[in-house]
Amino acid sequence: MGAPNFGMLYKASHYYVVMEIVDDPEFAVNYLREQITEELKDELPKCDVFEGEGWRAGDVSITDISTYIGLDCELCFYVVLRPGYYEAATLDFFHEIKGEEDIEDRDEKRQLVEELAKISEIIDKTIANYGMPYVKVAQFSNGETWYEPIKETKK
């Protein structure tokens, strides 16, 4: 019986595969932390962006981001490195909203959703710069899963 190499995606639009062949995994993780964190600091100047430490939700923490958008809640985003079952790893991210239950106004909820989408798009574009995008093309009843790199389309 097989198992898929990469787990379900949290929020990333594709499997951004990294570390397929790495001599020094610790160096590679530290490099990704530094580079992604610095790029997100530039892309999200109104947010608190800092290097992650250790593990978050079973994944290697790369970058943590938090921001307040003028509402009584905090948006937190976590960029993580998710180890593959057999080989390599993927970059992904997820978010958490602290204080969302206090928002009752419809316009404020719309503002929250728009801000989530905007920041998510920026994070997705950033991590795409560091990984090769793959897509799952098949998964069989025995667990075997096939992935393929996404081919660029020429316009």
- Give domain limits for the chain: 15-137
- 15-32 residue pLDDT tens: 899 888 778 888 888 899
- 36-71 residue pLDDT tens: 999 999 999 888 998 888 777 667 888 888 887 777
* CA-based nearest residue to 9, from 144, 153, 113, 147: 147
Tell me whether strands 89-98 and 15-18 are parallel, antiparallel or unpaired. Answer: antiparallel
| pTM attached to this predicted model | 0.85
pLDDT at 146 over 80: yes
Residue 127, both tokens: 């991590």
- Residue 1 pLDDT class (50, 70, 90 cuts): very low
Amino acid at 139: Q
Q: Give the sign of the dihedral formed by CA 130, CA 24, CA 135, CA 62.
A: negative
Q: What does DSSP assign to residue 10?
A: S
